[in-house]
Amino acid sequence: MSDPPKSADELPDWGPKMRALANDRQRAFVCALFEAPRKEGRVIYAARAAGYGTPESTNKSLSVIGSRLNVSDSIQAAIAEESQRRLRGLSPTAITALENLLGDPTHRDHARGIGMVLDRADPVATSHNITVEHKAAPHEVVAATKEVLARIEELARRAGIPQLPPPIDAEFSVVPQGANP
Amino acid sequence: MSASPDDPDKIMSEEEHHAWWATLSDEEKMVAYVPTGYQHLLLVIAYIKRALVLCEMKAGERLHHLEWLNKQTDNYISPEMLAIIEPMSDAEIAMMHEARSLDQNESDSKSFEILTNWKVFNSFLALNPSILAAIRLRERRVIKTKSLAAELSTLVGTRG
């Protein structure tokens, strides 16, 4: 494990959340969480590595100290920030591993590896099919065709309406019955 | 029991109803026999006709209203009755809108109750005699049908 940083100012590459921590021990605790040798006991390892407790402190007491630190909002925010930073730092290793994967056509994840590279080199164009549905009333979509106008004239005659004003979407004239068109 | 012609909220007793009925002329009785649903429909037909005659609208909208009018004919409202009803006048439109303003939403029936109230409906008939003419057409048709039925019954009886 690397030595815990002495001061936030000495390491200007800390993110704002790490800088916001109360002291260097807390920053060391966060870093040590990432460097713990195994999943189990990570909190105890980090608490001890950051200098909490005494050399005689039991695992139980270190576990209490570490757990309290681990659930504090400022430590949680710093862990999230550090996770992002370390994830980006993993890229060279990941690329190397991916190159190995791509170079081995017999590997069961070979095809998936190619897909991952292609996705990142030339991101898949995502298409969204958005259906905009406008339920127009039937009378809103009827065009003023010759047939429609003839039907209007016929219905108006049946309803006893001798003369109607012209519809606003069509030239309209009532031709008297028997008149030459 | 039925609603009082003077006050729709007051329910007449049987005696009161008989007394009121005795005061009506034959033509008034004919009007009183029109079911309230058809009374309302006759008014709406006149209202729609007014809209068709005066309002600017697209062909589709006009067709929609005319098709609706055309569908209102049935055993009660004949095509002749539909054709004889004149569009509402300004006064009728004002009354109609006043009544409709009482409805809070589409399912409200306050305007229906007001418009089919005896006095209000008769006011519409006075302003638009074509509605009364349509009701008379209906009455004539009923009388004619009854007369034909009687003739047919006599004819069958004679042959039997």
ipTM at complex level: 0.78
Q: What's the farthest any 2 CA atoms get from each other in chain B? A: 62
- Report how far residue A46's alpha carbon sits from residue A59's, in angstroms, rounded to the nearest whole number: 11
- Between A72-76, A88-92, B59-63, B123-127, the lowest mean confidence (pLDDT) is in A88-92
Question: At CB < 8 A and 24+ separation, what contacts does A48-55 make?
Answer: A49/A1, A49/A4, A50/A4, A50/A25, A50/A26, A51/A4, A51/A25, A52/A25
Which positions in chain A touch B58 (Cβ < 8 Å)?
139, 142, 144, 167-169
Closest CA relative to residue A7, chosen from A30, A34, A32, A28: A28
Task: Judge whether B21 and A133 are in contact, CB under 8 Å.
Answer: no
The answer on pLDDT for A25 being more than 80 is yes
End-to-end distance of chain A based on CA atoms, in angstroms? 101
- Report how far residue A67's alpha carbon sits from residue B147's, in angstroms, rounded to the nearest whole number: 102
Q: Residue B102 has which token pair?
A: 């009482």
| Closest CA in chain B for residue A163 | B53
**What is the per-residue DSSP string for B33-66?**
TS-HHHHHHHHHHHHHHHHHHHS---HHHHHHHH
pLDDT: which is higher, B93 or B11? B93
The phi, psi pair for B3, rounded to 5°, reads: -70, 145
pLDDT value for A107: 77
Q: Residue B85 has which token pair?
A: 């009803």
The answer on pLDDT for A91 being more than 90 is no
pLDDT: which is higher, B126 or B20? B126
- Between A41-45, B33-37, B71-75, B104-108, the lowest mean confidence (pLDDT) is in B104-108
Question: Residue A160: which of B54, B64, B82 has the nearest Cβ?
Answer: B82
- Which range has the top average pLDDT, A18-32, A50-64, A114-128, B120-134? B120-134
Question: Residue B59: which of A152, A160, A163 has the nearest Cβ?
Answer: A152
The answer on pLDDT for A61 being more than 80 is yes
- Between A94-98, A106-110, A130-134, B86-90, the lowest mean confidence (pLDDT) is in A94-98
Task: Judge whether B127 and B85 are in contact, CB under 8 Å.
Answer: no
When pLDDT is cut at 50, 70 and 90, the band that residue A26 belongs to is: very high
Give pLDDT tens digits for A142-152.
Answer: 777 888 888 99
Distance from CA of A166 to the nearest CA of B (A): 8
When pLDDT is cut at 50, 70 and 90, the band that residue A2 belongs to is: very low
Burial of A40 (0-12, 13-18, 19+ CB in 10 A): exposed
The answer on pLDDT for B143 being more than 90 is no
- Report how far residue A51's alpha carbon sits from residue A4's, in angstroms, rounded to the nearest whole number: 9
The answer on pLDDT for B81 being more than 90 is yes
B62:A141 CB<8 A: no
A160:B63 CB<8 A: no
When pLDDT is cut at 50, 70 and 90, the band that residue B70 belongs to is: very high
B58:A149 CB<8 A: no
When pLDDT is cut at 50, 70 and 90, the band that residue A181 belongs to is: very low
Task: Judge whether A107 and A101 are in contact, CB under 8 Å.
Answer: yes
- Please count the residue pairs, one from chain A and one from chain B, whose beta carbons lie less than 8 angstroms apart: 77
- Report how far residue A36's alpha carbon sits from residue A42's, in angstroms, rounded to the nearest whole number: 5
H/E element holding A68? helix A59-70
pLDDT value for B117: 92
